[in-house]
A and B are shown apart, each in its own frame.
Chain A
């Protein structure tokens, strides 16, 4: 007869509880005496740069990484200081952040949400990153932003253009410097009206994921407000490479404008196909057929080659801007790497400086202190003119550029020309605007 006090049920229950405890990620449990997640104790502080190093946006990711490295160099007092010299806040002294040397780790998002979360988690748990930044896709940015909120670190979004990032998926620990789809619509509409009139029939081809949907919604709303009619909106799979079968129906649809809500390789291929099918030479309803690409980037323009000439779109920043800040940034980036920075590089450089400055002003690395310093922060001298980090949704409000593919490029970088600088007031919306409604910032989470 056994005199064992263990019961089967008891062992199972204990095992289950212990298992759950072990499985619970350490970032969610109070494991140290630190006041917040990854409080820097030594003489250095670690930032986590989470960018696509492989996958379809790897070129954007590589440019972002260059800008991050440049920002770290400038924060630590190296190089020519870049936009630190033009930034309206003079809290940063070129001696790191709060006297601590800035170090960094990098991760590869692969432009996939799960891979991005895994690499962000590893940077926070293993490398002790106090802040995570990056991302070249809205799907990725939203996923990582959620993770950072749970982990109690600040997320400084990189290239993400979906309304949802600071709309229904906004988080108290997340901040976005880049503009969004609504702003593209608001900036483009007046220019489109002036160029193409108010009696137009638009046909949309849209990448079938969060960014594409919000961009289509924004552009449809903005153009219908002008009096345009929307003939059709067609979703195309993100994996599509040949768009000819989507382009063909456009020709007999009665549309006289094609809006390509595509980014990266998608846009390069859909635009190339549209031009091959002679859409740009077409005359419909007595008007020249036009193509609009609402979100432009120079890297994309390079991929599409000749086809971008004369096509309008919007962008967050362009290296040909002539303000002191942009010139300083282009000079220090161009001298180091031999070519001008992309808008992706610009936005992540700004985000790194803005984070460092907020920590310096707040006197702490505590995410809640930094969030407070960023909320409602007004600044200038980072290449976009006067900018506000709005407290209500952590979105930056600044001028938006309307650009056009240049007819006679002088060099391989000289692909876009700025047509208009749309003032910030014109692209500003209420925090509870229907396109952004549905989410809440919630409380800032310092972790630990």
Chain B
């Protein structure tokens, strides 16, 4: 039982990332009708926003410490951060410690701008082209972004820590009446889950309770009619692209302490997120969120040793297996509606 609870918890954080990425994918697909294979790269760029912001905060000047020597025997050069110089050691230290959550403020404008530039500069020209062309161009873009990141940041993962107070892990076992130390879960993954729930809630409320959101939803349902009513739907859709990019970016920022960011992390999530979108139902936002969590949890279960001893290798194919079963029984996905992506 404790192992099952642990795997459910485990699935939640992975599911959170899948859900956030799939949410953005569905938004773009539903509004613009574009299959955006560069969406994983946006997630990765989000994580590197955290890395970059943390680097900016850690920008430093060099002081030569005559009492110590470096590896060549020369006097040691010690880096002192400006933040600590300006704010004092205590306050400066706290700012540095909270670099990842603070980078949300940095990431939102950056991601929206990147989304705008991507949409206006490249993807706009592919609206009327076949889906295959869209996939090729966005996939190419993803590779370019990935190689750019590798050029500037190197191929190895870059450790980006959570704030000190979230570094430990939480003993769920004791809380639920199990033996202590049986269900342990890192604090930061809980933070990630709560954070993604808030973002998902915010996106849904935005679409449901604002006029802007209402127009966008109407556009998703019937673009032509909304256009005929004299509403400039394209402009709003561009904004939605920026918003989807920001959602993916924020998912990446907060993911940085879970797994050290590397240039390839976007691709790792992208393919699975597409499966999530298809399973959830093309164009269905609640479907994407539901499928994200569902597949995240299933993936966790599949890597339990008890299950792997019966079905070896199941952890690597479970998501695709479930996708096949769901598409066979519900060809439109879990919450897909009639008429979406059907000519």
Mask, A307-323, CB within 8 Å of B = 1, is: 10000000000011000
Interface residues of B in 229-269 (CB under 8 A from A): 258-260, 262, 264-265, 268
Which chain A residues border B305 with CB–CB below 8 Å? 232, 234, 249, 253
Known contacts A59-B154, A278-B168, A319-B71, A410 near B260 by CB under 8 Å: no
Task: Flag if B258 contacts A242 (CB, 8 Å).
Answer: yes
| Any A CB within 8 A of the CB of B148 | no
What number of B residues sit within 8 Å (CB to CB) of A?
47
Of the listed residues A264, A282, A411, the one surrounded by the most CB atoms of chain B closer than 10 A to its CB is A411
Q: What's the tally of chain A residues with a CB closer than 8 Å to chain B?
A: 51
Verify A245–B258 contact, CB threshold 8 A: no
Interface string of A27-59 (1 = CB under 8 A from B): 000000000000000000000000000111111
Interface status of B119 (Cβ within 8 A of chain A): no
In the complex, whether A276 has a CB less than 8 A from a CB of chain B is: yes
Knowing A242-B14, A276-B188, the reply to whether A299 touches B260 (Cβ < 8 A) is no
A268-B156, A305-B260 in contact; A252/B184 too (CB < 8 A)? Answer: no
The answer to whether A303 and B189 touch across the interface, beta carbons within 8 angstroms, is: no
In the assembled complex, the CB of B99 is this many whole angstroms from the nearest CB of chain A, namely 13
Report Cα–Cα, A306/B10, bound state, in Å.
23
Most buried by B among A246, A253, A300: A246
Contact flag A252-B2 (CB < 8 Å), given A234-B305, A242-B14: yes
Interface SS of chain A = helix
Query: How far is it, in angstroms, between the C-alpha of A24 and the C-alpha of B7 when the chains are bound?
Result: 54
- Are A299 and B156 neighbours in the complex by a CB distance under 8 Å? yes
Closest to A330 in B: B71
CB atoms of B155 and A413 under 8 A apart? no
Q: In terms of DSSP, what is the predominant structure of the interface of chain B?
A: mixed
Task: Say yes or no for A437: interface residue by CB 8 A criterion.
Answer: no
**Inside 8 A of A269's CB, which chain B residues have their CB?**
157, 259-260
- Asked whether A248 and B315 contact (CB < 8 A) given A265-B262, A276-B258, A302-B156, the answer is no
Q: Which residues of B contact A252 (CB under 8 A)?
A: 2-3, 6, 182
Q: Say yes or no for A147: interface residue by CB 8 A criterion.
A: no
Choose one: A58, A248, A410; the contact of B68 (CB below 8 Å).
A410
* B114 proximal to A (CB < 8 A): no
Q: Which residues of chain A are near B7, meaning CB under 8 Å?
A: 245, 248
> Does B169 sit at the interface, judged by CB under 8 A?
yes
Which residue from chain A places its CB closest to the CB of B185 in the assembled complex? A277
| A255 and B316 alpha carbons, distance in the complex (Å) | 25
- Is A214 close to B, CB under 8 A? no
Q: Are B169 and A265 within 8 A (Cβ)?
A: no
Which residue on A lies nearest to B179, using beta carbons?
A252
- Is A248 a contact of B3 with CB atoms below 8 Å? yes
- Determine if B299 and A245 form an interchain contact, defined as CB atoms under 8 angstroms apart: yes
- Whether A244 sits at the interface, judged by CB under 8 Å, is yes
Q: Which residue numbers of B lie inside 8 Å of A, CB to CB?
A: 2-3, 6-7, 10-11, 13-14, 68, 70-72, 76, 147, 150, 154-159, 161, 167-169, 181-182, 184-186, 188-189, 258-260, 262, 264-265, 268, 299-300, 303-305, 308, 315-316
* Complex A-B: 6 CB contacts under 8 Å: A55-B155, A234-B308, A245-B315, A303-B159, A306-B159, A335-B72
Q: A residues touching B (Cβ–Cβ < 8 Å)?
A: 54-59, 232, 234, 237, 239, 241-242, 244-246, 248-249, 251-253, 264-265, 268-269, 272-273, 276-278, 281-283, 299-300, 302-307, 319-320, 330-331, 334-335, 340, 410-411, 413-414
